[in-house]
Amino acid sequence: GAVVSQHPSRVICKSGTSVKIECRSLDFQATTMFWYRQFPKKSLMLMATSNEGSKATYEQGVEKDKFLINHASLTLSTLTVTSAHPEDSSFYICSARGNSNQPQHFGDGTRLSIL
Amino acid sequence: SQQGEEDPQALSIQEGENATMNCSYKTSINNLQWYRQNSGRGLVHLILIRSNEREKHSGRLRVTLDTSKKSSSLLITASRAADTASYFCATAPKAAGNKLTFGGGTRVLVKP
C-alpha cells in the first residue's frame, strides 16, 4: 500500500516552456503533499507544503509565482514550473502523507532538463 | 546549520558485512525517519521511530534513537548488493509542524 505516482519521470524542453508535474496518491488520501528539489548527490530541499483545498506554503527563497502548486483533491497535487530556464533543471520529487503521525511516501521523481 | 547530519557521507563494504550509519540533529523532534534512495529514483520509507522509542527493527534493519544525544543510527545487517543506495535520515522537528528535514545522506556501496 501507500503508493505515490509521479509523472512524467523525465522532461526535456526548451527555455521558456512551462512544465507541469503531477503527483497522485493511488491508495490513500493525502491530506498533505510536499514538493522537493534535489541536486546531484545532495539531499532533498523542501520547496513547499500543500494541504488539500488550501494555498501552498512555500519555503523561504522559493518563488511561488515560478513554482505554482495546486492541490485540488485528496489524491492529486501538481507543480507547474513556469517559464522554465536552464537553472530550473533539477530532480523534483513529491511526497504525500495521510496524517501527521504517518510517514511520507514518495513518488519516483521527475528529472527536468531545460535546454 | 543543518538539522539531520549524517555520518559517514559514504560507506563501502563487502556483501555480508554490516553497515552502520549515524544521524545527528539539533532540535526536539516528534519522530525520526530513515529513507533509502536508489540512484535517480524517489525515496523509499524504511522505518519511523517516535521520540519515546529507543529501538526499532524491520527485517535486517535496526534503528536506534537517543534523544539525550540527539542522534540515531541505522544498522543494515548481512548486507546485499541490492542494499547499494543512499540512505537519508529525516527529522520531524516539534516546531516545524508537518515538515521533514533531511540530512545529507550516506551513500552505501555493497560490493558483491
Task: For residue B50, name the pLDDT band (cuts at 50, 70, 90).
Answer: very high
Q: What percent of chain A has pLDDT over 90?
A: 74
SS3 A53: coil
Summarised one tens digit per residue, pLDDT across range A74-103 is 899 999 999 999 999 999 999 999 877 778
Summarised one tens digit per residue, pLDDT across range B13-43 is 999 999 999 999 998 888 899 999 998 889 9
Summarised one tens digit per residue, pLDDT across range B58-104 is 999 999 999 999 999 999 999 999 999 999 999 987 776 668 889 88
Pairing of strands A10-13, A67-73: unpaired
Of the candidates B42, B98, B100, the beta carbon closest to that of A107 is on: B42
Contact indicator for A104, A2 with CB cutoff of 8 Å: no
DSSP for B44-103, written as a single string:
EEEEEEETT--EEEETTEEEEEETTTTEEEEEE-S--GGG-EEEEEEEEEGGGTT--EE-
Of the candidates A4, A43, A109, the beta carbon closest to that of B88 is on: A43
Residue numbers in A near B90 (CB within 8 A)? 104
Other beta carbons within 10 Å of A53: 10
Find out whether the peptide bond into B93 is cis, omega within 30 degrees of 0: no
Q: Which residue of B has its CA nearest to A109?
A: B42
Other beta carbons within 10 Å of A64: 13
- Cell numbers standing for residue A18: 512551462
